A and B are shown apart, each in its own frame.
Chain A
Amino acid sequence: MIPAAFDYQRASSLDDALSALSGGDAKVIAGGMSILPLMKLRLAQPGKLVDIGKLSELRGDGPTANGGWEIGALTTYSEALAATQLDFTRECVEGIGDVQVRNRGTVGGAISHADPASDLPALLLALDYSAVLRSSRGERTVPLDGFFKGAFETDMAPDEILVKLVRGPLPAGADGSYQKMAHPASGYSIVGLCAVVGSSGGSISHARVAITGVGHVAYRAKAVESALVGSDGSASAVASAASHATDGQDVNSDIYADRAYRSKMAEVYVRRAIDAALGR
């Protein structure tokens, strides 16, 4: 549990960090809750760590002018808990790690790290967040839907830094629920998911269901969403929609939960989350 030797540079500004990254063989460290364990196992051996932890321009967590929300990449889980106005965000974040981890770990770090069983990707996917990425080549904004490419792989280039996460306003009346079957050892999701649902005129008008821990990446369960939208949101309609929870997914299998069980639990938990989001 001793990392290989590495260089360390504390970035004085975002530009400073970006130029340090462009040198190659460097990794960004913020809270260190993901990269440091990998380095201690020597599964990651970066030549250099670029510490962005002191960059105040990456902080901030609050509403935007258009009624949406913006989370600076360095926002810690604890800060996100304090800032959020959504009960289901609180349900999600309170289930991540422990107090110490939540005080160190950052939202940007979790999204960049793209652990296929971590909770924030599902939460932020269901809320239609986009990632704002910066490199010395410029800035771009990409929706999280499509951002996660594989386990620990994202659309980010090695020289890019995630600056913040942004979303537009939630549809009026929409509410959500975060539900999770946690691995008894790691606390990561065997099945974790966020459902955000809104109705109008007696039928479901908005549905986002995003699932983590089940596939190779956190994903939007679009077959569930489309089955739901336009339905009456009855228990049977929800159950029917939930049966599509793993459509198109190559479902994970491990010693704790095999493919069949995990698939079934994804369905059960999706149903429960939608029911909860609908106030049932």
Chain B
Amino acid sequence: MTDVLDAPTTPLGQPIKRTEDPRFITGKGRYLDDIKLQSMTHLAILRSPYAHANIRSIDTSAAKSMPGVHAVFTGADIPYNPLPMAWPAGGSAGIQNNVSTPRVLATDSVKWTGEGVAAVVADTPEQAVDALEAIVVDWEPLPAVVDAEKALQPGAPQLHENAPNNVVFEWNVGDKAGTDAAIDGAEVVVRQRIVNQRLIPNPMETRGDIGWYNPGTDEYTVWMSSQTPHIQRLLLTAFVTGIPEHKVRCISPDVGGAFGTKIFCYADMALCMFASKAIGGRPVKWVEGRRENYQSTIHGRDHITYLEIAGKRDGEVTGLRVKTIANLGGRLSTIGPGIPTTLYARVLHGCYRIPNIYAEVTGVYTNTTFVDAYRGAGRPEATYVIERAMDLFAAEIGMDRAEVRRRNFIQPDQFPYEDPSGLGTASGGAKIYVDSGNYEPAMDKALATVGYAGLPAQKEAARARGKLLGVGLSTYIEVCGVAPSKWIGAVGEGWGAAMWESANIRVHLTGKTVVTMGTQPQGQGHETTYAQVVADRLGIPMEDIVVQHSDTQGTPFGYGSYGSRTSSVGMTAAIKAADKVRDKARRYAAHMLEASPDDIEIDGAEYRVKGSPDRKKTIQEIAFALDLAFDAPEGMEPYLDETAYHDTPNCTWPFGTHIATVEIDEETGEVDLVRYVAVDDVGNEINPLIVAGQLHGGIAQGVGQALWEGAVYSDDGQLLTGSMLDYALPKASRLPSFELDKTVTPSPVNPLGVKGVGEAGAIASTAAVANAVIDALSVYGIRHLDMPYTSQTVWSAIQAAKGGQA
């Protein structure tokens, strides 16, 4: 009997294989480009070859007469508004945002190589691309600037009339006076300029859209590879096209990765809508090529930061002052300004109790692709700053890096922790605070795993082999949820919009159950995890539950999936909906069993009369009866169908310690990541297998930034890393097998005690690898080096340190 009792009674928390995977890994997923509609046409976009130029004229006549061509459009043909900018930098009085966003097609000028200027609709993609070559644009090239610091210099090329000196905004947060005083009076101050280089996100599936105007109903359907179909419907209608919201349906089919790039409103979405109507209602498909993706889908990061960290020789950190210049590209993407402000500077404290913090951020226009949220979105940049700063401080005072961290950790009894400099306080006074944490056990576990105490001997042994060994710590925190609404939606702070989530649960007559939600998977396994959560709550077998999503027709409004928010916000909405179902089922069970609802106890699927265990009904029996509703009591509506909305009271705060070990070939500068240990605390796990998968992918991406990745522009604005031949993504063959471990500190702000895990790996790992490389190079007195640590970068640093010719 004990065997049966010990067997798991709920799928929640079990490492269940994802129910999506059979279709994904056998080629049966249905992605945007898999959709082929009757009479569908194909759109191609002519993109600017110049980083900065005026458009004198565009001659489309030859293209229009090419075979198969239905229409050729330029910006002048399209009466839509520019794309919206939904998240200005805000938070304190007098912050001005000098906004320029892309038009559906550029009209007068272009601001980066790849900005769209004309479009062809043809019967086949080949015909559309051929016709692009027949469009003649009379360009007036202008001087370009690609570096944000140079763009601020006097005499730099100016991009926008409304943005003097190319400034998008000048923003600040924290306690300026206190921080200035702390730094002025400090025993030790370390200053360092650090660059968080521009990255190209590279989801496996590029973007794409199909626009279809139905002349019979005057309605539009837009299929899009998007993380946010509900938001796109709102933005495309209310802000871009003027088409009423209820006349547009947005559908995200299977989405093959996104990493943030598919949160946003892109010109091509509106272009496909416009084109379909313009050609009489044939569907219009646009699928982005990989090189096109590198130029026309958002990039990430691109910060230049001047940091100053102050403290005492005993290891106590007393102040952090940061000045960051954030490159936002040629025009603003949907929430570009929100990333280096709210999502970055407000979490600069990391997991440390630093009494004085002040940050200034300047957003800058340059002749580059626009920059917006990329996996972690501001938090990897913040983690990189604070984790590098801690190492710099430790090196300066000659104290062990783990010990310095230990001395400054926020202590377990100090949660909820509110940053004393006001980093968590939004403009209206709404606050976020660090909900929970217990940082030392995670760090100690990681240190023990790598044998940190034996590090000097390891280094010596490696040196004998001609290798410089280094170990780097990243004791990170993440902030998940992009919530609550009263904080993120505060006027002038977030995108002036709410950030709750939604879920609907219907238990059908047969007991089969449909869960719909407002969040939007892009490979995370939501169909599995939502089913685990609902199965646990309702006692319905997972195989009887289908999880539906991604279509504004048929799912409740939701803000989508990004910012590691689905588990903490979206699944709490599912729990609330399930609780409403349980409540109604309890009341109906009471009616069926002729008992008081208060006397009904619920055990999995069974609703029993207390003290009379034989008097019971299953949820399936209840659903059947309540669906037929022959016998429903007065005032009770038929059917088990409940919707819930959840606005979380606070963000959630995963944490952990990642430790990277690298070996550097002293003679060539080649860096080899030889070991990676991660101890993460993401609270309770819904599915440990999916948690591990998210961590593996995130860690690889973060390692990529440290060792290989980096978008490089020529001075005149050509993207030199324009394809996977030049832009180095992490490859499995160059990564060690990651060693994962955990501590579990449930979040107190949601019933599941979950925190989110989508970004943790990427947030933590870049700093861990960077700190490891610098540790390895510390034998040469090197305290800092900018990423990526290509072999030449490392070799040159070694040569310079040796005093030789680099």
By a beta-carbon cutoff of 8 Å, the part of chain A in contact with chain B is 1-2, 4-5, 41, 181, 183-186, 255-258, 260-261, 264-265, 268
Contacts and interface: CB of A to CB of B under 8 A. Distances in A.
Contact of A1 (B290, B707, B720): B290
Nearest to A257: B792
Nearest to B791: A181
A2 B796 contact: no
B544 interface: no
A255 B720 contact: yes
B708 A185 contact: yes
Contacts of B792: 256-258, 261
B245 interface: no
Contacts of A260: 805-806
B366 to A, nearest CB: 18
Contacts of B725: 185-186
B728 A184 contact: yes
Most buried by B among A2, A257, A265: A2
Contacts of A258: 792
B708 A261 contact: no
A181 B289 CA distance: 30
Interface stretch (B69-77, B125-133, B426-434): B125-133
A2 B129 contact: yes
20 contacts: A1-B289, A1-B290, A1-B291, A2-B125, A2-B126, A2-B129, A5-B126, A181-B670, A183-B728, A184-B731, A184-B734, A184-B790, A185-B725, A186-B725, A255-B712, A255-B721, A255-B726, A257-B791, A260-B806, A268-B667
B708 A184 contact: yes
B95 interface: no
A98 B398 CA distance: 46
Contacts of A5: 126, 130
Interface string B794-806: 0110000000011
Nearest to A269: B668
Nearest to A183: B728
Nearest to A185: B728
A261 B727 CA distance: 20
A185 B725 CA distance: 5
B168 interface: no
Interface of B: 125-126, 129-130, 289-291, 667-668, 670, 707-708, 712, 720-721, 724-729, 731, 734, 790-792, 795-796, 805-806
A185 B791 contact: no
B790 A256 contact: yes
A261 B796 contact: yes
A268 B707 CA distance: 22
A261 B795 contact: yes
Nearest to B129: A2
Contacts of B728: 183-185
Nearest to B725: A186
A4 B726 CA distance: 24
Contact of B726 (A185, A264, A265): A185
B799 to A, nearest CB: 9
Closest 10 CB pairs of A and B: A184-B728, A185-B728, A186-B725, A1-B289, A261-B792, A2-B129, A184-B708, A255-B712, A257-B792, A2-B126
B615 to A, nearest CB: 64
A181 to B, nearest CB: 7
Contacts of B126: 2, 5
Contacts of B805: 260
Contacts of A256: 790, 792
Contacts of A183: 728
Contact of A186 (B291, B726, B734, B796): B726
Contact of A181 (B129, B668, B724, B731): B668
Most buried by B among A1, A5, A256: A256
A43 to B, nearest CB: 12
Nearest to A258: B792
Contacts of A255: 712, 720-721, 726
A268 B667 CA distance: 8
